[in-house]
Homo-oligomer: A and B are copies of this chain.
Amino acid sequence: MEAKHEIYMENMISKIENRLMQYVQVTSQTARQAELIDAMRYSLEAGGKRIRPVLVLEFCRMCGGTDEQAMAAACALEMVHTFSLIHDDLPEMDNDDYRRGKPSCHKQFGHAVALQAGDALLTEAFGTVIRDPVLEPEIKVELMKILADETGAAGMIGGQIMDMSYVTRTDVTLDELKAMVSAKTGALIRGACQMGCIAAFAPLEKIMLAQQYGEKLGMAFQIVDDILDVTGSLETLGKPVGSDAEEGKTTFVTLMGLEKAKAYAEKLTWEAEEILQQFADHAFLLDLTRELLTREK
């Protein structure tokens, strides 16, 4: 990524992280409620790429909106993403003790608090949009329609359920894998792009383009994840290489082979870049889209 874009992105992420901490604060609560808030903030602070909120801010900006218009939607999506990671790590799901090199939420705060911190983050995601002082009610409802659709049984949660059922199957087809990834990984990324446009009062045509871009970016993102699980190193990745193969998981690499998977991710990235050309002032996002394809972690 270009140096000026790196600085630009760092500034954007710092704004998002500050706002996330403002949204989730201890008010006059008991010690145990304060622990709940601590757990929510712990997982929000754990970081990650912040792709979803960055996409919200960028699509809003490219459609002529301000960061202020987009910030509630951006943070709401990051809260939903974080809630899903907390619940994913619980023993009944993936049973992961670590997340991004730190103890996972339930290891740090106990299972019950982690479960409820996830629940509270999902609630706060909607609450954050609802309580925003800038947005009009019509826009809030439009934003939350995407948020609810892309999070729920037909979106991310539905995708996780599909993913779980595929772990025990050896005959998952490429179409099934694509449908699962489109829901599990794609839903919030598509949602982010659309919500950015909606926050800027963009016309339906732009929202549809953003959705298509998000679909392609989300799919490419997952393919690169699958590739890195084979070609990456523990050092850059921060997690064991080859864990997919060890679990017998069906991935784009197991179904297509490494070279075809790489070519498919390249094709999707190229198509996503094509769509971006139809938005003004797209240089940063063009750079980020390419960066996500060539990333090493």
Q: Name A residues whose Cβ lies closer than 8 Å to a Cβ of B.
A: 27, 29-33, 35-37, 40, 83, 87, 90-93, 106, 110-116, 118-120, 122-124, 126-127, 130-131, 136-138, 140-141, 144-145, 147-149, 151-154, 157-158, 160-162, 164-165, 176, 179
| Contact between B145 and A130, CB atoms less than 8 A apart | yes
CB–CB B162/A148 < 8 A: no
Contact A157 B32 (CB under 8 A): no
Q: In the assembled complex, which residues on chain B have CB atoms less than 8 Å from the CB atom of A120?
A: 152-153, 157-158
Cα(A92)–Cα(B90), bound, Å: 10
Q: CA–CA, A92 to B110, complex, Å?
A: 9
Which residue in B87, B147, B152, B162 is a CB contact (below 8 Å) of A32?
B162
Docked Cα-Cα span, A113 to B165, in Å, equals 11
For the complex of A and B, 5 pairs with smallest distance between CB atoms: A92-B111, A127-B148, A32-B165, A137-B137, A123-B152
- Choose one: B92, B130, B151; the contact of A148 (CB below 8 Å): B130
| Closest-CB distance, A141 to chain B (whole angstroms) | 5
Given A126-B144, A126-B148, A141-B141 in contact, is the A32-B164 Cβ separation under 8 Å? yes
User: In the bound complex, do residue B130 and residue A162 qualify as a contact, i.e. CB atoms below 8 Å apart?
Assistant: no
Copies of this chain per assembly = 2
A40 with B127: CB separation less than 8 A: no
Q: What are the residues of chain B within 8 A of A158 when measuring CB–CB?
A: 29, 33, 36, 120
* Identity of the chain B residue whose Cβ is nearest the Cβ of A176 in the assembled complex: B30
Are A153 and B126 interface neighbours, CB within 8 A?
no
Which of the residues B33, B123, B152 comes within 8 Å of A162, measured between beta carbons?
Answer: B33
Residue of B nearest to A114 (CB): B92
Q: Is the pair B152, A116 in contact by a Cβ cutoff of 8 Å?
A: no
Smallest Cβ-Cβ distance to A132: which chain B residue: B141
- Residues of B close to A136: CB separation below 8 A: 137
In whole angstroms, how far apart are the Cα atoms of A31 and B119 in the complex? 25
Could you say which residues of chain B place their CB within 8 Å of the CB of A153? 29, 33, 36-37, 40, 120, 123-124
Closest to A112 in B: B92
Task: Evaluate contact between A161 and B36: CB separation under 8 angstroms.
Answer: yes
Q: Is the CB of A116 within 8 A of B30?
A: no
Q: 7 A-B contacts, Cβ less than 8 Å apart?
A: A29-B158, A32-B165, A33-B161, A91-B92, A123-B157, A130-B141, A136-B137
CA–CA, A161 to B157, complex, Å? 24
